[in-house]
Chain A
């Protein structure tokens, strides 16, 4: 049972947002929309058995990955989560190689060895999704450490959830990043649920952005359904990181459009709350920012075609060869 205290009401979201170049907003919209469609189509493919395993849709949260990834460069790194399709798409992945991977095909990013929960894309410096909640956070801090050793000007965005914020490695890694002044942006996607447990039931202080200052790091709360707001805050944090000013914690508030994974109906989520968040759907919010239906329609059409091609590519691709796999195993 959640306690009633001011600390449990959550951080007040900062209001957005100064104007952003239309071209950038369209690039962000492309990724928000591509993620939305990718997830909806993947769920259909899951239900007919073309995708197996666990699949955790990023529906409703698309603005965070799209906004954050637009604010960093191709050469910068991201570390993703089990709910990682949006991060992968927004960092530049090819939809057909993603689709092939989550179908377990030889042509996928990981040759069908990783699947949805472990998808990574080296060419985009996406260090990968992770099946362990919080498991990627130290890896992101370490990538920041490696960047300092190499002496490059790269930054890392570590995506993780409110659920992961209760894992010990979050506190440890935020502290490590602060101590060593690492170029890491901790992007806390607060979708209010750790599987089915609400944040009010699992955090003594629901103002998650306040965890930053506790470790000597800025902590910012942003509207996670407003991609432009996420973009602008990430841009500032990346600038700080590149200037050698160390890490930033950004809490991006959002809400899942369904249950924890594709087979979870999410019956524990209050319908009126879900409807309220859907009224502020990241797609609607961003369309209002862009306010150019013609360009949006054209862009959506291109994405729809790309997704159709990706699905066909996945379906047509071969499974990995069992014979080659077994023959390639070593004793190590």
Chain B
């Protein structure tokens, strides 16, 4: 098994799927010869050429809509939007077109499109290049939302998303691109809708996803030395949401914290916390807590930026308040 970076795992997934299926193609800004801002599409242009690796004009609304149209006529487009922040430009095509087509057509057509994008803070990129906007997509019926935390999951989930018949919003995290992990070279997929328990524990459940999974694992490791056993549930996909794994874990531990980088207000965490309280109230020893990003625009200054995001210390403090 090879040790790959997250971005290399994504790159491998694209190579494998484009080799497997000639109807898979990709488009975005600077993704062809340049290989994308985070090198996820590196080398694709050389192998597959300009017919299947398209550098688009800076016309996000329209090339995203092109993804919808191309999907409707039987191809499998992978559309890259450089930053999740720029999805503000494409919301009609996502909310009103991609998400609704299958439903409104009475199932006559499907939109097997993947929208790859990247989000998260931590690089000092300020307010318009650092957001975590998954809740916007999570809110819309008809979309799948995928947010991998490891190179293994990144490859398996991207392959699964490309093969899936629904429009999928695939959100990578900019701080994960250079992280390493074991990635098999064989043709495996990670099914959408299956969370993974990244660390088993008995005392408390952390429900998390994407980059925050790493922070939760660090916190769990630190507390293990103090005899506190923390379970870390990495959702991997937000929709479909693997309620079963969350609820089974909470049943075992009796305590839960939802941890995410996105701002707390209106975040996915509030929905998951409510779901746990509605469906597993009797299993709980106390209210479900949320540890999330502060309700603010991400500042440019690195110290201020850091202060807006959940830290390992915040998670440890949160756990200690509950166990």
User: What's the nearest-Cβ distance from chain A to residue B290, in Å?
Assistant: 21
B25 close to A149 (CB less than 8 A) = yes
Stretch in B48-56, B257-265, B278-286 with 4+ CB within 8 Å of A:
B48-56
A331 to B145, CA, bound (A): 12
Q: Which 5 A-B residue pairings sit nearest by Cβ, starting from the closest?
A: A138-B65, A142-B69, A142-B66, A110-B106, A172-B62
CB distance from A268 to the nearest CB of B (A): 27
Number of interface residues of A (CB under 8 A): 45
B1 interface residue per 8 A CB criterion: no
Tell whether, in the assembled complex, residue A135 and residue B54 are in contact, meaning their CB atoms are under 8 Å apart: no
Q: Which residues of A contact B239 (CB under 8 A)?
A: 331-332
Chain B proximity of A129: nearest CB distance (Å): 9
* In the complex, number of A-B residue pairs with CB atoms less than 8 Å apart: 151
Contact A172 B142 (CB under 8 A): no
| Interface residue ranges of B197-234 to A (CB < 8 Å) | none
Q: Which of B139-169 contact A (CB under 8 A)?
A: 141-144, 166
**The residue from A112, A142, A330, A332 contacting B72, defined by CB atoms under 8 A apart:** A142
Contact A138 B106 (CB under 8 A): no
Chain B nearest CB from A261 CB (Å) reads 19
Contact B73 A331 (CB under 8 A): no
Q: Is the CB of A149 within 8 A of B51?
A: yes
- Indicate with 1 or 0, residue by residue over A162-175, a CB within 8 angstroms of chain B CB atoms: 00000011001101
A-B contact pairs, 9 of them (CB 8 A): A135-B65, A138-B62, A139-B66, A141-B65, A143-B72, A145-B75, A146-B70, A146-B71, A172-B57
Q: Which of A111-137 contact B (CB under 8 A)?
A: 111-114, 118, 120-122, 127-128, 130-132, 135, 137
Q: Which of A51-103 contact B (CB under 8 A)?
A: 77, 79
Residue of A nearest to B241 (CB): A331
Bitwise, B168-184 to A at CB < 8 A (1) or not (0) is: 00000000000000000
The interface residues of chain B, by DSSP majority, are classed as mixed
Q: A114-B104, A128-B101, A332-B144 are in contact. Are A140 and B69 (CB under 8 A)?
A: yes
CB-CB < 8 A to A294: which residues of B? Answer: none
Residue among A79, A120, A138, A176 facing the most chain B CB atoms (10 A cut-off):
A138
Q: Told that A110-B105, A113-B103, A137-B62 touch, could you supply 8 new A-B pairs with CB distance under 8 A? A: A79-B69, A131-B96, A138-B63, A139-B93, A142-B77, A143-B69, A145-B70, A332-B240
Alpha-carbon distance A34/B142, docked complex (angstroms): 35
User: How close is A150's CB to chain B, nearest CB, in angstroms?
Assistant: 6
Contact with A along B277-313 (1 / 0, CB 8 A): 0000000000000000000000000000000000000
Task: Identify which of residues 141-199 in chain A touch chain B, using a CB-to-CB cut-off of 8 Å.
Answer: 141-150, 156, 168-169, 172-173, 175-176, 179-180
Query: Are B51 and A148 closer than 8 Å at their CB atoms?
Result: yes
| In the complex, chain A residues whose CB is within 8 Å of the CB of B74 | 146, 150
CB A183 to nearest CB in B, in angstroms, measures: 11
B173 to chain A minimum Cβ distance, whole angstroms, is 23
Query: CB-nearest residue of chain A relative to B193?
Result: A332
**Which among A139, A147, A150 has the greatest number of chain B C-beta atoms within 10 A?**
A139
